[in-house]
Amino acid sequence: MEIIKDLLGIFNIFEGIYERIKKILIPPRAYSWQTLIYLSLFSWIMSSLAAPPIKSVIAFFGWAFLIAGTSWYTTDQPILIPGTNMPVGAVITGFLVSVFAFGQEEDVITPRTIVLWPTIAAIITAIPEFFEGSGIDSKRQIPKAEVRQRIIVLVGSCLILSAWIQLYFTVDKWANQYPSLLADDFSRSPFVIRTGSSDKIPENGAIILNRIQPVVQQQIDAKEWSDVERWLKKAPNTKENFGTVNAIGRQVINDLSRQSGRKVREGQVDSVEEWRLWNVDASVDNVGNNKNVYRLNLLALWNGPSSSAKRYFLRKSCQIEPISRAADASTVNIKTPGEKITVAEIQCEKRPQFFAGTPPKQQ
């Protein structure tokens, strides 16, 4: 007998689950939320089999049935979000309306969908307050003063929430388009928080200097000291040789910009528009009191937005000094093979250094 009772108890449990599922899936009457949901599913199946423009028309009605059915089901027994007068059903319906209105075929959930979701949900919550009754017997009314106040607070709060979400997407877009902004100082910002290392340097500026360095080294290393020294001493006054450095920098920046554009078209990276905001310069000074040892400073100047009017720059210094070596086939203007000559040796820093402000003027 005990076994039979246990089997009957299990049967009753399954029977109860079946009745609940049956109540949800089988419409009690033709005019019900289940009917609208089934119509939306039927419309989506038909739209997948149809061709444009009929496909878009059928899909439109599918969305309309889904939104109406979901709104009906979630408002039968509304559950409020704790601490507010907004039903959970309005949040769900607002999301569907936002996706339907602002989504795209290739990307259903877009930033605009997320931004407008809270505001649409608040409007859906407020609409029933302007009608009295239900179904076809409803009539328009002006809400009472306390209800109007509650509506204004709810809609205003959701507008502020949408504004903050929009700010997030805007800052994120700036960070993708101008990655060097992430190296700026955000200590005084009330809404941007740095999550990475505080000593981060602009990566794109470092890439520019790292690509310029080997080209400059090739022009100086192992060249006759007299020619190199003449180049270094003439540069501060005439900018003749730094024009070459600037030309190299412009070529590097153009190449990087083209590579970035190609990756964007191939969908590998987001748009990086900051290359045109970088500029290249150089300066020369002596190392200590030794007039035969020079320091060539390769500079990457940031001309984009920053927290300071003085902006910032990256510097990669290269030390150039004379060394004595035997002439060989790689040495220019060889007079006698094996003859001791003085050539330039250049050694550059491994990593660029980051500075806030503007670089000192060339003396």
pLDDT digits (tens, 9 = 90+) for 56-94: 888 888 888 888 888 777 766 677 777 777 788 888 888
Same domain, residue pair 214 and 296:
yes
Same domain, residue pair 209 and 304:
yes
d(CA 148, CA 156): 12
Work out the burial of residue 183: count CB atoms within 10 Å of its CB; fewer than 13 is exposed, 13-18 middle, 19 or more buried. buried
Same domain, residue pair 17 and 156:
yes
Same domain, residue pair 258 and 338:
yes
Residue-level pLDDT at 236: 47
Residue-level pLDDT at 25: 61
Question: Is residue 346 included in any domain, yes or no?
Answer: yes
Residue-level pLDDT at 248: 86
Same domain, residue pair 268 and 140:
no
Same domain, residue pair 141 and 279:
no
**pTM of the predicted model as reported, rounded to 2 decimal places:** 0.61
Neighbours of 71 (CB within 10 A): 20
Burial 274-308 (b: 16+ CB within 10 A, else e): bbebbbbbbbbeeeeeeeeebbbbbbbbbebebee
Low-confidence ranges of the chain (pLDDT < 70): 1-28, 30, 75-77, 104-106, 133-138, 185, 193-199, 234-243, 263-271, 308, 327-338, 361-363
Question: Is residue 54 included in any domain, yes or no?
Answer: yes
Number of domains composing the chain: 2
Residue-level pLDDT at 317: 92
Residue-level pLDDT at 315: 92
Same domain, residue pair 48 and 93:
yes
Residue-level pLDDT at 237: 45
Neighbours of 327 (CB within 10 A): 18
Closest CA to 300 of 199, 203, 176: 203
Residue-level pLDDT at 7: 47
Same domain, residue pair 126 and 207:
no
Per the structure block, which two tokens stand in for 355? Answer: 């500075």
Beta strand pairing status for 290-302 and 131-132?
Answer: unpaired
Residue-level pLDDT at 210: 92
Which of 177, 195, 216 is at the close of a domain? 177
Same domain, residue pair 10 and 93:
yes
The three-state DSSP-derived secondary structure of the chain is CHHHHHHHHHHHHHHHHHHHHHHHHCCCCCCCHHHHHHHHHHHHHHHHHCCCCHHHHHHHHHHHHHHHHHHHHHHHCCCECCCCCCEHHHHHHHHHHHHHHHCCCCCCCCHHHHHHHHHHHHHHHHHHHHEECCHHHCEECCCCHHHHHHHHHHHHHHHHHHHHHHHHHHHHHHHHHCHHHHHCCCCCCCCCCCCCCCCCCCHHHHHHHHHHHHHHHHHHCCCEHHHHHHHHHHHHHHCCCHHHHHHHHHHHHHHHHHHHHHHHHCCCCCCCCCHHHEEEEEEEEEECCEEEEEEEEEEEEECCCCCCCCCEEEEEEEEEEEEEEECCCCCCCCCCCCCEEEEEEEEECCCCEEEECCCCCCC
Question: Is residue 184 included in any domain, yes or no?
Answer: no
Sequence length of the chain is 363
Per the structure block, which two tokens stand in for 178? Answer: 């101008």
Same domain, residue pair 164 and 238:
no
Residue-level pLDDT at 87: 80
Residue-level pLDDT at 170: 87
- CB neighbours of 124 closer than 8 A, spacing ≥ 6? 71, 90, 93, 94, 97
Question: Is residue 195 included in any domain, yes or no?
Answer: no
Question: Is residue 185 included in any domain, yes or no?
Answer: no
Residue-level pLDDT at 347: 92
Same domain, residue pair 326 and 229:
yes
Q: Which domain holds residue 254?
A: 203-356
Question: Is residue 30 included in any domain, yes or no?
Answer: yes
Same domain, residue pair 207 and 173:
no
Residue-level pLDDT at 8: 47
